[in-house]
Amino acid sequence: MIGGGGTGGHIYPAIAIANAWMAKYPSSEILFVGAEGKMEMQKVPEAGYKIIGLNIAGLQRKLTAENLTFPFKVMGSLKKSWDLINDFKPDIVIGVGGYASGPVLFVAQQKGIPTLIQEQNSYAGITNKLLAKKADAICVAYPGMDRFFPADKIIYTGNPVRKDILSLEGKTDKAMAYFGLQKGKPVVLILGGSLGAKTINESVLQCMSKIEALGYQVLWQAGKFYIEEMARAVKESGLQHIHVHEFITHMDLAYGAADVVISRAGALSVSELSLVGKPVIFIPSPNVAEDHQTKNALAYESQRAALMIADHVAIGSLGRALENLINDKDEVKLLSENIKKLAKPEAALDIVKALEKIMK
C-alpha cells in the first residue's frame, strides 16, 4: 500500500517505486491511497494502479471555516485507513508525503505492519517527521537528513524519476525538430510547473530580448494560468526565437534540447535536473510548506551544483545572471559536472531493495 500525493513531487516518485516493484514482482498487488480531489486521483489510475481517496486536507495557515472541520476529517481518514488496511492486508505500507500518507502510515504502525517513508525534500515534512520514529526505514534524497530522522533508519537513495529522463543520448536532433527549434542555436529551457510560475514568467518577459540578442532561443513552459498573457506578449514583441507553450509533455525531449535550464526547485525537478546534467538556475517558490524549495536549491548551490536566485529579486536580476553564466564557459562546465555528481539514477531500485530487506 502506498499513501500520499497532493503534488507531482509526491505522486511521480510513488508511481516510479510501484513500477520498479512490479517489474521485479509482477504478481504483486499495489493499492494507492490518496486525498479526494487531488491530482493523484487522476494520475495514479492513468499509470495503471488502483487508488482510494480519503477526505483529508491540511490545516490552513489562516483561521478559516475549513480548519474547523480538520479534526473530523482526520478522525474520518483514520477510520477509513483502518478499514482499508484490514481489508487489503498489506505486507508493507509506503508513505511518500502529502495529506493522505499520515493516516495510512499511522494506522499501519499501530497495527505493527512494516512501514517505509520516502522523503523527497532536503527539509522534511511535518507528517514524515512525526511518523519517522516508528518507521522501519526512511529513504531520503539529500545528505544530512539525520537533522530530522533517526540516523540508523536513513537510506540515501535519491528520488525516483520517470524512466524516459534516464536516457537523453541521441535525442537532441529529434527534440529540435519536435519543438520547431533552430539547429545550432543554443536553447534556454524555462520551467515553472504545469500551472505556471508568475515570477519566472515575468522575469523571462523582462529579459527575453536580451536572451535572443545573446544568440540563444527559448523553450518556455508558461503554465495554464499564464499561457495566454505570455503568448500575446511574445507575439507583440516580434521576437523570432521565443517558443512559448502551456505545458511540455515530452520532458525528455525538452531536456535533450536544453543548454541551460531555469526552473523552480521542487523535489522532482531537482532530481530530474541532476540526471540531465545541464547548468541550472533555480528560482525557488516561496509559497510552499516550510519554504522547502529554497532549502532544496541552497543544498545544490552549496555544492556549486546550481545557481540560485531568490524569488523576490528574480525579475530584476535573471537577465544579468543568465548572461554572466552564458559567457562563463568554466562555470557552465563546473555546474554541469557537479550536478551530475548528485544524481541517483538507481533510486527506484534502491528503494525496492530497502522494501525487500524490511519484508524479509
Q: What are the structural domains, with CATH classification, of the chain?
A: 2-159+345-359 (3.40.50.2000), 164-341 (3.40.50.2000)
Q: Is 326 annotated as a binding residue?
A: no
Q: Is 9 annotated as a binding residue?
A: yes
Quickly state the pLDDT bin for 72 (edges 50, 70, 90): confident
Q: Is 331 annotated as a binding residue?
A: no
Mean residue pLDDT across the chain:
93
Q: Is 267 annotated as a binding residue?
A: yes
| pLDDT for 65 beyond 80 | no
Cα 344 from Cα 342, distance rounded (Å): 7
Strands of the chain, DSSP E:
2-3, 31-35, 50-54, 93-95, 115-119, 137-140, 154-156, 187-191, 217-221, 242-245, 260-263, 280-282, 307-308
Q: What is the pLDDT of residues 249-283, one digit of tens each?
A: 899 999 999 999 999 999 989 999 999 999 999 99
Q: What is the mean pLDDT of residues 326-344?
A: 96
| pLDDT for 140 beyond 90 | yes
- Which pLDDT belongs to residue 46? 95
Q: What is the pLDDT of residues 100-136, one digit of tens each?
A: 999 999 999 999 999 999 999 999 988 899 999 999 9
Q: Is 28 annotated as a binding residue?
A: no
Q: Is 162 annotated as a binding residue?
A: yes
Q: Is 97 annotated as a binding residue?
A: no
Q: Is 268 annotated as a binding residue?
A: yes
Lowest mean pLDDT across 71-80, 109-118, 132-141: 71-80
The answer to whether 253 and 233 have CB atoms below 8 angstroms apart is: no
Q: What is the pLDDT of residues 296-317, one digit of tens each?
A: 999 999 999 999 999 999 999 9
- Which pLDDT belongs to residue 59? 56
Q: Write down the pTM of the prediction.
A: 0.88
Q: Is 116 annotated as a binding residue?
A: no
Quickly state the pLDDT bin for 68 (edges 50, 70, 90): low
Give Cα 8 distance to the centre of its chain.
6
Q: Is 121 annotated as a binding residue?
A: yes
Q: Is 144 annotated as a binding residue?
A: no
- Which pLDDT belongs to residue 63? 61
Cα 116 from Cα 272, distance rounded (Å): 22
The answer to whether 285 and 264 have CB atoms below 8 angstroms apart is: yes
Output helix, strand, coil percentages for the chain, rounded to the nearest 5: 50, 15, 35
Q: Is 271 annotated as a binding residue?
A: yes
Q: Is 7 annotated as a binding residue?
A: yes
User: If you count DSSP H runs as helices and E runs as strands, how many of each does the chain have, helices first?
Assistant: 15, 13
Sign of CA dihedral 270, 271, 276, 278: positive
Q: Is 264 annotated as a binding residue?
A: no
Other C-beta atoms within 10 Å of 19: how many?
18
- Which pLDDT belongs to residue 74? 84
